[in-house]
A and B are shown apart, each in its own frame.
Chain A
Amino acid sequence: MTVLHPLELTHFQAFLLFAVVISVTFGFLGRRRSKDRVKYILWSLFLFLLVGIGIGWAMFPFSR
């Protein structure tokens, strides 16, 4: 039986992992040329971070 070492990530690290993996996959699936893929990946990652951090800031007043 395979056992992986327990992984402990902060909320931001888990969010970053999600954003990077999804951006790269969507970039490869949605675009064919390498240049287009890189542009798509970077833009998608930027928007993920912007929206995620934006929602985090918007929820901050209600966190306490």
Chain B
Amino acid sequence: MGELPQNITTGGTPSVPAKNDEHSPGESRALALGVAGWLLPGLGHALQLMWGRAVVVFLAVGLLVGAGASMKGNVFTRQGNDAFDTLGYIADLGTGSFYFFARAIETSGADVSHADGDYGTRLLATAGVLNLLAALHAYEAARGHKA
């Protein structure tokens, strides 16, 4: 019996040249669309001509922000007292430009001493997280992973 030929490998995956597409134009465009969708709810989908999704995301986030703020929910600011305030601030920032809309219409401040204010706080946080999910969807759609 002879020895094994030297050019036979003992297993493992064949080495394929790594594709460095992290900074390709397509990736940058997808990232820009994701950020656009975060800044203005629905914009990431609108720029990809997904009109139905764009309108639904815009209306859903707008409705939740409008309802939450008019129920005197807490619109968190950067000056939080604890970790929960910081988490609430991050969630509220998820609404993008609508965060300032919520601050603008809630002129008399939050009132979480009643149940309505507490529900409003949750609706505002929901709007932010929902918009972040929609922005992520726009990003993935632009990369061709979902549609």
**A interface residue numbers (CB < 8 A to B):** 1-9, 11, 14, 17-18, 21-22, 24-25, 28-29, 32
Contacts and interface: CB of A to CB of B under 8 A. Distances in A.
Contact of B123 (A4, A6, A18): A18
Contacts of B47: none
Contact of A7 (B53, B57, B116, B130): B116
A4 B70 contact: yes
B131 to A, nearest CB: 10
Given A1-B107, A24-B56, A8 B71 contact: yes
Nearest to A17: B67
A29 B64 contact: no
Contacts of A14: 71, 119, 122-123
Given A29-B137, A32-B147, A7 B56 contact: no
B126 interface: yes
Contacts of B70: 4-7
B56 A25 contact: yes
B116 A9 contact: yes
What are the nearest 9 A-B pairs in CB distance? A4-B70, A14-B119, A7-B70, A28-B56, A25-B60, A21-B60, A7-B71, A4-B105, A28-B53
A14 B63 CA distance: 12
B147 to A, nearest CB: 7
Nearest to B111: A6
Most buried by A among B69, B70, B105, B107: B70
A11 B64 contact: no
B87 interface: no
B115 A17 contact: no
B86 to A, nearest CB: 23
A32 B56 CA distance: 13
